[in-house]
Structure 1
Amino acid sequence: MDLLRWLFEAQIPVGGSALVLREVLGNIFGLLSALGGMRRKVWAWPMGIVGNILLLTVFLGNVFGAAAPATLWGQAGRQVMFIAVAVYGWYRWRQGRESSSQGRAIVPGWASTKVRIALIGAMIAGTAALTPLFDALGSYPPVWADAWTFMGSLLATYGMARGWTEFWLIWVAVDIVGVPLLFSAGYYASAVMYLFYGFFTLTGFFVWWRAEKRERILVHPGAAPVGAAR
């Protein structure tokens, strides 16, 4: 109990303010998960789950009576969503590694044009639908930005589980909106990490792009990529 109390109350002094330790730790685990995802390692998923649990308690700061500066229902809700999708991704990547003669968890592939259109439509429609809900719950303004990051995170995580190379670009769209929102709400550790993610996701996109071209020929010559949707 003492350890849990310390974890919930611990802060890191920075200048005249302080960072919530759970926020810093949650983003560190998130970074490790992103690194594992870029390398297509199965352990990326459980690493991400640990970070999601920590960040869930942070973004529900007012609910927990913690020192968090504001409650972001979209940011909190997406941690729950992350955990659910991560379980699916963990299972799918483990299954892929076991069935692959090369021991690869996933072979990157491109989504079909139909799927790309569906992803864009879901991003726009989901943001529009969730904005009034998050507003009613008292999410930090601009509420549409909170809804945008929620929907983008959902689609990007699902895309990663499916092995679609485009999921990195969805993360870029999330970061463009998420960084200003987090800075405005006072979540400086998460905002800085999101800013770093913006550059990291671009790197990940090109890493997966090269891997898709290379491994599609080496692993499945003449066949469609594993992640490709029909």
Structure 2
Amino acid sequence: MNIYIDYIIRLSLSLVCGFCLGLERKMRQHTVGIRTLTLLCVSSCLLTIVSGAIASNGIVTGDPARVAAAVITGIGFLGAGAIVNQGLNIRGLTSAAIIFTSAALGVACGAKLYVPVGIVLLFSFLLLLVIGPMERKLFPAEKRKIIRLDFSSNEVDEAAVRKILTDAGIVVFELNTNYDVQSGGLTLIYIGKIPEHMATVELTKKLAELSDIKAVSVDN
């Protein structure tokens, strides 16, 4: 086979892999999308091709696998940038894993490991499109939020507050209190785990019906 045709096949396959993974992320409205993952996969493939060409031509001596190792090391920084800490919650772990997978597929395409590439791409879509929704249905995601209640007095029925939170399916991890000496007001700050599809507005309305309540806020 002509060497240039071989290069085109490898780079084209890496482009398809990156495009497919990027399309899945874009369909779910994630920041990491088609262009990012496609460029990442193709560039990883190119670096692998370059490392193999340099070694086979005897331009330099050394282990060509070190280039692939350097690619994976560099991808670690890009993956870390995809992870976002939103208050008490962490987002972007799956996108970071897909970034790593895209780079690995690119390296494998550059090394002409076509069968492993096909298997991993199939497994990736199985996990993202089938196992992912199944996991969310069987184990609904729960977010941690901060519930702040400001009262005008220190005579607070904390049991009533707990009942509202418990009835809403909230698991309280921590309770902090703040007493204003000048006004005599009391602030309760709950940190709890809230079901993903819970109606936050309805919860706020119920908490607003408490006696001597001044303000209610539910934040990440």
TM-score normalised by the chain length of structure 1: 0.27
The structure with the largest alpha-carbon Rg is 2
As a proportion of its length, which structure holds more strand? 2
